Every structure is written in structure tokens, then in C-alpha cells.
């Protein structure tokens, strides 16, 4: 059995195939396809819930982060991404002068 997943034009496509698929194999592939579709629907529903996309220290066990460490890191990353080009998150431009 071969399972191939890929993105095409922003859509996730999953192809299931088996060599020499007979009638029993077709039924099995149909059931597997239905199960994969149901699982992906569950993932999509989870991602659409309020609060989805949040992380906790348990998501990064090897980093050894506390909740406060993780919050500080995420704040720094978010601030850096939101800062205008040529400035740092503290509002100091690339010349070292406050804005």
C-alpha cells in the first residue's frame, strides 16, 4: 500500500493505492480513505477552535522552558516580526536612536 500526500493549489491531496488491488483491497482502500478524510476533518475543526495555535512548554520538552520562558520568547518573536524594517522591538532604529 502506498499513501502519498501533497499540496496542490493550496489543497491537501492524499492518494491511496495498492498493487494488484482486487475487490477486497478496493473496499479496504475506500475505508482507509474515509478514515483519513474523517481524521483530517477533525484536525481542521480543532484548528478552527478559539485558542487553537497556542503552545505550552510541553510542546517543546527538550528546550526545558518554563511557561514564563516560553511567553517571553513568543513575545520577543512576535515583537520582532511586528517591528517596522530598520527598527528593533524596543523602538530603536538601526542607527541606535529612539523613535
36 and 18 inside one domain: yes
Q: What is the distance between the alpha carbons of residues 27 and 3, in angstroms, rounded to a whole number?
A: 16
Contact 52, 60 (CB under 8 A): no
Please state the domain count of the chain.
2
Residues 43 and 64 in one domain: no
Q: Are residues 35 and 69 in the same domain?
A: no
Which pLDDT tens digit goes with each residue over 62-93? 999 999 999 898 888 887 766 565 555 444 44
- Same domain (yes/no): 7, 41: yes
- 30 shares its domain with 60: no
Same domain, yes or no, for 60 and 24? no
Separation between Cα atoms, residue 45 and residue 51, nearest integer Å: 12
Question: Residue 10 — very low, low, confident or very high, per pLDDT cuts 50/70/90?
Answer: confident
The parent domain of residue 73 ranges over: 55-99
User: Which neighbouring-strand residues pair with 92?
Assistant: 98
- 41 and 76 both lie in a single domain: no
Amino acid at each position: 500500500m502506498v499513501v502519498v500526500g501533497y499540496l496542490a493549489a493550496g489543497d491537501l491531496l492524499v492518494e491511496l493505492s495498492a498493487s494488484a488491488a482486487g475487490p477486497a483491497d478496493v473496499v479496504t482502500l475506500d475505508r482507509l480513505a474515509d478514515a483519513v478524510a474523517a481524521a483530517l476533518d477533525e484536525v481542521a475543526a480543532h484548528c478552527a477552535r478559539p485558542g487553537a495555535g497556542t503552545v505550552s512548554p510541553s510542546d517543546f520538552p527538550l528546550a526545558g522552558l518554563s511557561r514564563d520562558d516560553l511567553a517571553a520568547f513568543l513575545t520577543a518573536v512576535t515583537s520582532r516580526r511586528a517591528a517596522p524594517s530598520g527598527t528593533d522591538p524596543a523602538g530603536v532604529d538601526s542607527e541606535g536612536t529612539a523613535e
